[in-house]
Amino acid sequence: MTTIRLACAALALCAACGGDESDYETETNPQYAALAIAQLAGIQNGVTAGSPDATSGGVLALGGVAQSIITPKIDEQQLRVTPAVVPLVGGCDCDASGCQFDGCAADDGSWSIDGTIEVSGDSYSFDVAMTQHQASDGFTSDTDLTTTGEISISADRIDGHVAGEIDSEITVSDPDGSTTVSGWIDWDIDAAQIGLDGTRCPVSGSLDASVSAEAQSGGRDADYSGSGTVEFGPACGDATVAL
């Protein structure tokens, strides 16, 4: 499972050694818009298969994909990956009618999820909250995530709205001491009548995305916000930023 690529981790360098405020221009990355569509289709597959593992992992990854559609123009950004998928414990129930998570968690304590994904026909309603903890040599991260919205997912079309919020505290340590960065990210995606081909690749329609983020460290802060539209088609793999 790939964890969220926290924008506040990318901002950490600026928050730690920049001025009192830093604002950045943003860019739209169409490849991640296409990946977000694949991620939504994958969540549907997880629910249909009655798989809490696939569904919860898909919801966790969706926030990371969504925030990657709109990114700040910063030379260096960071990517962190969690260990392999681990067994689940607690209330982790999924079937074709949806998912109910009640204290559902990885048995190694790395993350937990609560809330519901309700299914009515092709309509999927998200109302879930997750926590995630990571630790390695010189690095710890504690993150709270929420995902809400309603989206229609069928074999040949995706349409609707999903949004989320990510709050995180990251501590990086080295022989010279420790730096703690606190940050938040709001993300929002609107899928507008996105047509899918037989492989569920987007070939028509568009996706609107927006992201706002801020990081604080040592009395300094950095932030950015931006939005963009990606248009798909006419062939699989065609994804362009709307002017």
Residue 26 inside a domain? The answer is yes
In this predicted structure, what is the pLDDT of residue 101? 94
The band of 152, judged by pLDDT with boundaries at 50, 70 and 90, is very high
97 pLDDT above the threshold of 80: yes
Reported as a single tens digit per residue, the pLDDT across 163-198 is 999 998 888 898 888 888 888 889 999 999 999 999
Query: CA 232 to CA 203: how far, in whole Å?
Result: 5
Residue 105 inside a domain? The answer is no
Judged on CB neighbours under 10 Å (0-12, 13-18, 19+), 230 is buried
Residue 98 inside a domain? The answer is no
Residue 94 inside a domain? The answer is no
Q: Structurally, how many domains does the chain consist of?
A: 1
Place of tokens 């940050």: 183
Residue 1 inside a domain? The answer is no
Give the pair of three-digit tokens for residue 136. 């390695």
Query: CA 68 to CA 31: how far, in whole Å?
Result: 9
In single-letter form, the type of residue at position 55 comes to: T
Residue 112 inside a domain? The answer is no
**Domain membership of residue 184 as a residue range:** 7-84+117-241
In this predicted structure, what is the pLDDT of residue 218? 80
Residue 95 inside a domain? The answer is no
- φ/ψ bin of 7: left (φ > 0), alpha (ψ from -120 to 50), beta (otherwise): alpha
- What's the predicted TM-score (pTM) here? 0.82
